[in-house]
Structure 1
């Protein structure tokens, strides 16, 4: 049986909305362009669990030439968590139905600790995944090979026994290089077709 390994953001959960992005930059009280450059350029170690929110936001502040006090840091963490919290409910049900139908499913997400804790507390549908790989917990973040190999080990399958679904080209190609079957996610209908071609219904 083929297992299906899902990305979360951009597949099951939505990307940050324009409103949530504006809220974050406004909370930081810095120009948006500079804010997003610092936010993304420093994000990978935070997602990988090398640091927690206060350290990450201190580094963002330093890159911006400012300082966030404890209250501002807490507000930024809360706004950041909120910005990644909108779900695609139809995809949640689609993935849950696969699991209920006997398909082995997993989740591999680049996600920092504060956001991972929020999802664990708020979303019981995570229980449908037989492999739950939050980057901050496994010490590897996509597209690092270790992230995919960790999942294969915990599925107890070779990479070729896993279909990886992600909306980012670089993440998909990294998985493919390790021998996983892959699908670049654009819509639920195209994913359904890919699953059918893989013999998964």
Structure 2
């Protein structure tokens, strides 16, 4: 293969989400019998924010108001801050970039989470670009996302290897003309190294 650019998903590939994320959301619900309905409402409010149509804090605040949950917006937003980057993956990214390879994050995120990636995790310092759905106006696995991502980098789709822990996103990338592989942090950084070696242009 001839990939010269590596695109990595965030959650599950570069970072691990909080295993207690859903429980933290459920704890905000004032009616235990309606926890499922509350959480579904939160996720429904988040969906349009992933393409930049809405501000997530505003959308989440509306959900909390509907459920008469006062004064908890900051607490609720903090649920999206709890992530653990993989030091081994970031070290590999630094190694590739040091050798001249472009490495970018390619993730579905709403604007509050994008802020977390940029400000709390300082990912702008670790990657050549952050290709985030709310800023591109498209979500994975649509062809629009991959087209916009490659256009932002100024590359042909055939130049990129995309790695994601969700098969629908992998298949969407392949249909859009990118090389794409499935991977998860649980496989260890060795698999990510092997995938890059398999697809990349030798340097």
TM-score tier after normalising by the smaller chain length: 0.7 to 0.9
Tell me if structure 2 keeps the 8 A contact 1:135–1:141: yes
Please list the CA deviations of residues 107-146 of structure 1 after superposition, one character each: whole Å capped at 9, or x if unmatched: 1111121221122122334324223212222222212222
Whole-angstrom CA distance in 2 between matches of 1:113 and 1:3:
25
Using structure 2 for the length normalisation, give the TM-score: 0.84
Seen in structure 2, the aligned counterparts of structure 1 residues 55 and 68 have a Cα distance that, compared at 3 Å, is farther
2:39 corresponds to which residue? 36
Residue aligning to 1:68:
69
**Aligned ranges for residues 1-201 of structure 1 at < 5 Å?**
2-18=4-20, 20-31=21-32, 32-58=35-61, 60-61=63-64, 66-69=67-70, 71-78=71-78, 80-83=79-82, 85-186=83-184, 187=187, 188-199=189-200
- Of structures 1 and 2, the one with the larger relative CO (CA 8 A, separation 6+) is 2
Shift of 1:59: 5.3
Which shifted more, 51-60 or 102-111?
51-60
What number of residue pairs does the alignment pair up? 195
Q: TM-score, normalised by structure 1?
A: 0.85
Give the secondary structure class of the aligned counterpart of 1:165: strand
- In the alignment, structure 2 segments of 5+ residues that lack a partner are none
